[in-house]
Homo-oligomer: A and B are copies of this chain.
Amino acid sequence: MAENREVTIYDIAKHLNISAATVSRGLKNSPAVSKNTRKKIAEVALELGYQSNTFASSLRSKTTKTLGVLVPRLNSHFMSSVLAGMEKAANKHGYNLIIAQSLEEAENEKQNADTMFNKRVDGLLISLAYDTRNINHLEPFFKRNIPVVFFDRVYSHPSSISVVINNYDAAYKITKHLIDQGCQRIMHIGGNLLRNVYKDRFDGYRQALKDHDLPFQDKMHLISELSEKDGTAAAKHILSMPAAKRPDAVFSANDTSAVYCMMALKAAGFHIPHDVAFAGFNNDPISKVIEPNLTTVDYAGETMGNIAVTNLINHLQGTGNLYSTNSITLRADLIIRASSLKNEVQKTK
C-alpha cells in the first residue's frame, strides 16, 4: 500500500515546495529556518506521518534519550514502586523508559536484552529472572560501553553498578526480633539461593539463629517461588508436622507467601501470633490488610528506582562515573506489627 511507504524529508520538501535541506534543518528546529516555515514543516510532518529517524540521528548524537528496564515480573507492589521511582527520575531529565518483563525466565530475559540493545537504549536497568545463571546476554552492552545498572536482583560485574537494600541485615534483625519474642523454632520460607536477595536473607536468618545458639534445621528452610500457592503449601507442610516439631514462628522472604500461609493456618484454628508468630518482607499493601497485621521489612522501592536511574543518567551526562562505584546499599527498616508480638509488653509499634 502506498500509505505504508516510509515518509521521508523529501516528501515533506515536495509537499511544501522547499528544499530537503531546509526541511532537515526545520525538523531540528534550527533558527536558520523561519519560525513560520518550521511550523509548516512540523505540521506537514505530522500530517504525512513522518517518523523522525531516531536511529540515524542516534548514530550521530549517540543518544536516544531512552533507557531500557528489564524486570522479572510486573506483579508486585515492590516492582511497581521501583518503576514509579524510575519513571519520575527519568522524566525529570527528559528520558523515557521502555520496560520488558521476563516472567522469571532466563530465555525471555535474553530476548528482551536483545530487543533493548537493538532499540538502542542509552542505558540498561536490570533485575534478574529467577533462574538466570550468567549474564552473557548482556555482553553486547558491555562491549559497546552502554552502561548497565543492576537493581534488587543483581550480578557482580566490573563494568556495572548494583543498587540493593541490605537484605542480610534486615533478615538478621527480623529473625532476632522473633527470637526476642521467645520464638525458638523459626521456619524460613525463602526463594532461589541463586539470587542475592534470597541468599542474603537466608544468610541473615541463619546467622541470627547461630548468634543466639539456636540450631539451623534443613527442614525448617523451604525454598519456593514465594507465590500465593507456595504460602498455602507451606501451611500444609506445617500442619503435616507432629505438633511438637512445628515452628513457633515463620519468617517469609516476601509478604505474599507469609499472608497466604497465615490465612491457611488461621482457617485451621491457629492463633497468630500465640501459636505461630509471623514476619514477611517488602511491606506490601496486603501486610496491612491481613489480621493480625504483618510484621515486615519496609522496602523503599521508589527510592531504589530513583537512585538507579539518577546514577545512570548522571553517568550518561558525564556528571558522574558509574564504574567508580561498585554498589549502593539502601537502608531497610523493620516494621513491627501484631503478627509477631507474642509478648505484649514488648510492643514497640
Residues 90-117 of A at the B interface (beta carbon under 8 Å): 91, 96-101, 103, 108, 111-112, 115-117
Complex partner residue of A118 from B47, B54, B80, B139, CB under 8 angstroms: B54
Contact A74 B66 (CB under 8 A): no
Chain B CB within 8 A of A87 CB = yes
Residues 51-87 of A at the B interface (beta carbon under 8 Å): 51-52, 54-56, 59, 62, 66, 73-77, 79-81, 83-84, 87
Known contacts A3-B144, A73-B80, A75-B77: A118-B87 contact under CB 8 Å: no
How long is the Cα–Cα vector from A59 to B56 in the complex, in angstroms?
Answer: 13
Chain B residue numbers with a CB within 8 Å of A259 are 289
For A, the interface residue count at a CB cutoff of 8 angstroms equals 61
Chain B residue numbers with a CB within 8 Å of A66 are 115, 119
Chain B residue numbers with a CB within 8 Å of A100 are 96-99
Chain B CB within 8 A of A143 CB = yes
1/0 per residue, CB under 8 A from B, across A120-164: the answer is: 100000000000000000011001110000000000000000000
How long is the Cα–Cα vector from A284 to B340 in the complex, in angstroms?
Answer: 26
Known contacts A3-B144, A100-B97: A83-B74 contact under CB 8 Å: yes
Chain B residue numbers with a CB within 8 Å of A46 are 139-140
Complex partner residue of A144 from B49, B101, B139, B140, CB under 8 angstroms: B49
How long is the Cα–Cα vector from A273 to B103 in the complex, in angstroms?
Answer: 38
How long is the Cα–Cα vector from A62 to B139 in the complex, in angstroms?
Answer: 28
Residues 278-296 of A at the B interface (beta carbon under 8 Å): 285-286, 288-291
1/0 per residue, CB under 8 A from B, across A207-248: the answer is: 000000000000000000000100000000000000000000
Chain B CB within 8 A of A1 CB = yes
Chain B residue numbers with a CB within 8 Å of A20 are none
Chain B residue numbers with a CB within 8 Å of A275 are none
Chain B CB within 8 A of A4 CB = yes
Chain B CB within 8 A of A16 CB = no
Known contacts A66-B119, A119-B66: A87-B103 contact under CB 8 Å: yes
Residues 250-307 of A at the B interface (beta carbon under 8 Å): 256, 259, 263, 285-286, 288-291
Contact A99 B96 (CB under 8 A): no
Complex partner residue of A101 from B83, B143, B290, CB under 8 angstroms: B83
Chain B residue numbers with a CB within 8 Å of A120 are 51
Known contacts A101-B99, A145-B4, A290-B289: A140-B49 contact under CB 8 Å: yes
How long is the Cα–Cα vector from A112 to B49 in the complex, in angstroms?
Answer: 17
Chain B residue numbers with a CB within 8 Å of A1 are 145
How long is the Cα–Cα vector from A289 to B232 in the complex, in angstroms?
Answer: 13
How long is the Cα–Cα vector from A96 to B115 in the complex, in angstroms?
Answer: 7
Closest B residue to A82 using CB positions: B74
Residues 28-55 of A at the B interface (beta carbon under 8 Å): 46-49, 51-52, 54-55
How long is the Cα–Cα vector from A62 to B5 in the complex, in angstroms?
Answer: 9
Minimum-distance CB pairs A-B, first 10 = A49-B143, A75-B80, A55-B55, A99-B99, A98-B98, A54-B118, A49-B144, A96-B115, A74-B80, A289-B289
